[in-house]
Amino acid sequence: NKQFESIDEEQLPVAKHRLHDWTHFAGLYAAEHVAATEFVIGATFVALGAKTIDIIFGLLIGNILAVLSWRFITSPIAVDTRLSLYTYLNKIAGDSMTKLYNWANVIIFSVISAAMITVSSTAVRFAFNIPAQLNWYPTNAWFILIVIAVGIVVVSIALYGFNAVSDFSSLCAPWLFVMFTSGAMVLLPALSLDILGKTLPAGLSDLMTLGDQSVWTGINSEGNEGIGLVEVIGFGWAANTITHFGLVDMALLRFAKKKNYAYASSTGMMFGHYVAWIAAGIMGAGAAVILGKSIVSLDPGDVAYYALGLSGFVIVIVAGWTTAITNLYRAGLAAQAIFYNHSRQKTTIIVGLVTVVIACFPFVFSQILPLLTYAGLLVVPVGAIVFAEHQIFPRIGYTRYWSFYRGLSFSMPAVASWGLGLFFGFGLNALDVISFYYLFIPTWFFTIAVYTFLASRYGAKKKYAAHEKEEELRSLAIESFQEQQEKEQRPLIKDISLLSKGLKFLAITALIITLGLACNVLFGSDLETDYIKNRDLFYDYGFICTVIYFVSAYWALKRGKQTTTI
């Protein structure tokens, strides 16, 4: 067993005693997918000219398809292997392919992190009365300075405080959901007054009229007919292809006790990519009415402030930089895997500096929709290669891990399949054969077919009985090693102190009061004067509740960490 002590824990399958139940994943997905980007994406659907009925049903169908993709594509491989994609890919395709993939990850996660830094900066620029940045390039020197300042905070925390931020992001999930829901309720009366002449829509028909006339009108920002149901479904499904079809979330789901725990991704999809996108559209349209501007001329800072008051600054900054830190940390890890002679801190600093430069250009967050889709297309062929090797090869008599058994550090079938998959996918896009939201589907099937064919020519058809027996014995030895580790581990105890219970109760109460204040704005404002008074009440006390929530919830978290071992 001593042979495994010197191996990095990340290179070994997850031990049985470290597996989690479904509630862990429900919290993780809610925290990751209810974020500041929802302001941008929600408003983008308005600018693209979607219709109300298409948004309601299209996003529902698209997000259900995304949840099913996690369950039936990502989860089975993650639970079977208990490995992250990076470790499993190295076993399937060797070092060379893994390095190429890590370069792709550096680019993707740096761009996503840059977009989040820019989103956070929009809130800060609003506070300092700096003009909105609506061009692809920055038009104000002060905005650049703000981006640099926000970027320094992000890079610093990615270097030294990732564990604390990871915990903090899980705290943000319930608050973010409450805030997105509250923001929509606070600005819905402003829309209703503008379109219907009354503060509260009378029923479903009024709501549909409101949506069709002021939010999702079916006309895009250029005055032409907008996207339809098929495109909305496609984006709802494609927005997370990096993590489900691309298998990046093997890193999360390898800790799941059961494959069905992938259904917990529905917390992120239904709250973040359904409720929050719809709420963000309503907030954007409501802020546009109050300011007398077009929604496309607003940035997240504008929308959040008029929906949530001072809490709006908090939601944009906090949700933006927690997502930025997570992705910058991923980019730093990927860079460190390439330049393994350098520390993660050093590679994170270098990647962080490049990310901050990218963040100075507002096009990054304004084009987040296509960026996410194309980023998914970049890694989907890799997911297809892993899927083929793990799920298809054993069923057709090929040998899983054949490249590893042959001792190859460079897998020509894997690298060639990835390259041909990219050529195929981006070629379809150039020819405009299919909506770019759906490019990942034919690309995935094409790459599976190509990899299966090429692998058969390079040795996948052969039998490696001795190597397979050796692999089986190694797996048993790892299991024995981890069982020994479990026996030596200090037992965990649950924090049941009265103070911690009181802090958690206080945090939940603050959220309930916030929702109550938002309901009062929506349902207790018969006249426009009542609406303005109730809205101001929400702005003031909602911010106090925000402060109470974060102080009490974070304090409870810290106390829990101090009393988890005996």
Residue 253 has pLDDT above 50, yes or no: yes
Last residue of a domain, one of 450, 470, 489: 489
Higher pLDDT, 337 or 192: 192
Question: Do residues 169 and 32 touch, judged by C-beta distance below 8 A?
Answer: yes
Domain span holding position 197: 2-130+148-489
Q: Is residue 377 part of a domain?
A: yes
Confirm whether 136 is domain-assigned.
Answer: no
Q: Give the end of a domain, one of 489, 507, 527.
A: 489
* Nearest alpha-carbon partner for 307 in 29, 42, 27: 42
CATH code of the domain in which 23 resides? 1.10.4160.10
Same domain, 220 and 339: yes
| Same domain? 389 vs 499 | no
Express as a percent the part of the chain with pLDDT over 90.
30
Which of 435, 466, 489 marks a domain boundary? 489
Instruction: Give the model confidence (pLDDT) of 14-47 as tens digits.
Output: 888 788 888 888 877 887 787 766 776 777 788 7
Residues 433 and 335 in one domain: yes
Domain shared by 430 and 366, yes or no:
yes
Residue 265 inside a domain? The answer is yes
The two structure tokens encoding residue 453: 């064919």
Cβ atoms of 79 and 253 closer than 8 Å: yes
Mean pLDDT computed over every residue of the chain: 84
Do 393 and 529 lie in a common domain? no
Clarify whether residues 417 and 268 are in a common domain: yes
Q: Is residue 137 part of a domain?
A: no
User: Does residue 295 share a domain with residue 359?
Assistant: yes
Mean local confidence (pLDDT), 86-103? 86
Residues 463 and 535 in one domain: no
Statement: residue 273 has pLDDT above 80: yes
Per-residue pLDDT of 511-562, as tens digits, reads: 999 999 999 999 998 888 999 999 999 999 999 999 999 999 988 888 876 6
Do 539 and 446 lie in a common domain? Answer: no
- Residue 219, beta-bridge partner list: 225
Round to whole Å and give the CA distance between 309 and 303. Answer: 10
What pTM, to 2 d.p., does this model score?
A: 0.86
Tell me, yes or no, whether 52 and 113 share the same domain: yes
Helix runs in 161-228, H state only: 162-195, 204-210
Q: Is 384 a domain residue?
A: yes
Q: What is the pLDDT of residues 395-448, one digit of tens each?
A: 999 999 999 888 888 889 999 999 999 999 999 988 988 888 899 999 999 999
Tokens of 4: 């495994």
Mean pLDDT, residues 284-288: 82
- Is residue 12 domain-shared with residue 29, that is, in the same domain? yes
Fill in the DSSP letter of residue 9: G
* Structural domains counted in the chain: 2
Q: 412 and 509 in one domain? A: no
pLDDT band at 566 (very low <50, low <70, confident <90, very high): very low
Q: Does residue 300 surpass a pLDDT of 80?
A: no
Top mean pLDDT of 157-171, 311-325, 331-345, 382-396 is at: 382-396
> Looking only at Cα atoms, what is the longest distance across the chain?
81
In this prediction, residues 281-285 reach a mean pLDDT of: 84
Calpha distance 66→243 (Å, rounded): 10
Q: Is the pLDDT of residue 565 over 50?
A: no
Q: Which residues is 208 bridged to in the sheet?
A: none
387 in a domain, yes or no? yes
In a domain, 142, yes or no: no
Burial class (CB in 10 A: 0-12, 13-18, 19+), 197: exposed
Is position 135 within any domain? no
Is 510 in contact with 549 (CB distance < 8 Å)? yes
Instruction: For 185-244, write each residue's pLDDT tens digit.
Output: 998 998 888 888 888 888 888 888 888 888 888 888 778 888 899 999 998 998 889 889
Has residue 162 got a pLDDT over 80?
no
